[in-house]
Amino acid sequence: MIDATWDQKIDYFYEHEFDESDPQGSIKRMRVLASERPEGDAAALFEWGGVHDALGFEDEAIRSYRLAIEAGLEGERATRVFIQLASTLRNVGASAEAVSILESMQASGDDEAPRQAFLALALYDEGRYGDALRTALDALIPTLNGYGRALAEYAEDLPGTVR
Q: What mean pLDDT is predicted for residues 120-128?
A: 96
The fraction of the chain above a pLDDT of 70, given in percent, is 96
- pLDDT band for 14, please (50, 70, 90 cuts): very high
Which tens digits make up the pLDDT trace of 46-72? 999 999 999 999 999 999 999 999 999
Residue 161, pLDDT score = 66
pTM of the model: 0.90
Q: 76-85: string of b/e by CB count within 10 Å (b at 16+)?
A: ebbbbbbbbb
Which tens digits make up the pLDDT trace of 141-155? 888 888 888 888 888
Which tens digits make up the pLDDT trace of 74-103? 988 999 999 999 999 999 999 999 999 999
- pLDDT band for 158, please (50, 70, 90 cuts): confident
Three-state SS sequence of 46-77: HHHHHHHHHCCCHHHHHHHHHHHHHCCCCCHH
In this predicted structure, the answer to whether residue 2 has a pLDDT above a threshold of 80 is no
Residue 146, pLDDT score = 84
Where do the structural domains in the chain lie, given as residue ranges?
1-74, 95-163
Question: Options 3.90.1150.10, 2.120.10.30, 2.60.40.10, 1.25.40.10; which CATH number does 1-74 get?
Answer: 1.25.40.10
Amino acid type, 32:
V
